[in-house]
Homo-oligomer: A and B are copies of this chain.
């Protein structure tokens, strides 16, 4: 049944689905990076209107390696997009069609926007990014949690979003391999001493162990599961979260942590005077998240204990602590693990890149180890400064 689409069969599919007017003149280009998915961009050359057809490939290619990867992730992705669209239609691409046997999702063309990571590396700031992501995270988490959803329906949704194979990637690449001398890691030879210090850091490993356990066991809500700045399309006015193939029932703090980490990784790549917009984004994301989540809690909660004195504060506090810890893990793995970020890897000259990566390792470590005593989001900035090369 399954076979990879070609540019030709992608156009035929679009025609069959009548997604364009009868007299449209369609052109198609495969624009995926070829690692995990085929991505076809089909445009009606008469009016410039387009669609995206995304098809999962039955294997993953990363740094030359190839391993089989479940096609079920395409089902998870289209179902997650539809689920999220029911709560935050403004922040996710519209899904026009999906086909489980072909592992395809046909969706809105977002090519008028830019991948946030790319824009941030170019020095853009996307002024509404944190406001939008804070609201996106608050609503998707609240409405799919035991607070915003019937608790029995939630269990069935969690069952549907069981996603062992994609979770395994996170368990290995985010929470495990970077903290051990594992062959998936890669980093500059010059960093070896810093990395070995990390590997022998018992205090750190005990805390990462607990964070991994939280990731493995705590099913708070349907999380995106891979909310880095490469999973976000943005402009000055719009924000769209894409690629939820890692979606599963996970802890409240996970998406926030990944997002914070990737903002901070970008900050690490910038000169001191250009970092402020990133810190502001981190703080604003939390502020909007906490405010939106609290409003929903007060007005829409399905849980009778939502009215219990202090309980909301407990939940927010725990989410905050988790997010900081997950952010620390993400910063470290993006520096020395299998999948790097361009923010750090493109820093020139080389010595500055090394400095930034050493700073990243120290920052990641401090966030993980001190997450429970941090009280406000602007402490992140303090830790960022404390761990910069200047003060070490």
* Interface SS of A by simple majority: helix
CA distance A199 to B152 in the complex (A): 25
Give A205-227 as 1s and 0s: 1 = Cβ < 8 Å from B's Cβ atoms.
Answer: 11011101100111110000000
| Chain A interface category by residue count | 35 or more
CA distance A304 to B208 in the complex (A): 12
CA distance A308 to B156 in the complex (A): 35
Chain B positions within 8 Å of A315 at CB level: 213
Interface residues of A in 167-181 (CB under 8 A from B): 167-168, 171, 176, 180
Residue in B closest to A208 when the chains form the complex, CB atoms = B305
Say if the beta carbon of A165 comes within 8 Å of chain B: yes
Say if the beta carbon of A202 comes within 8 Å of chain B: yes
CA distance A109 to B205 in the complex (A): 49
Say if the beta carbon of A158 comes within 8 Å of chain B: yes
Given contacts A146-B217, A162-B155, contact A206 B308 (CB under 8 A): yes
B164 and A152 contact, CB distance less than 8 A: yes
CA distance A217 to B220 in the complex (A): 6
* CB-contact partner of A205 in B208, B209, B212, B309, under 8 A: B309
* CB-contact partner of A164 in B156, B176, B213, B216, under 8 A: B156
Known: A152-B167, A202-B310. 5 other contacts (CB 8 A): A146-B213, A155-B163, A158-B162, A208-B305, A218-B219
Q: List 19 A-B contacts (CB under 8 A).
A: A146-B217, A151-B164, A151-B167, A151-B216, A153-B164, A155-B162, A155-B164, A156-B164, A159-B162, A176-B305, A202-B308, A206-B310, A206-B314, A208-B305, A209-B305, A209-B311, A213-B305, A218-B219, A219-B219
- A residues at B contact (CB < 8 Å): 146, 151-153, 155-156, 158-159, 162-165, 167-168, 171, 176, 180, 202, 205-206, 208-210, 212-213, 216-220, 304-305, 308-311, 314-315
Nearest 5 CB-CB pairs, A to B? A209-B305, A152-B164, A155-B164, A159-B162, A202-B309
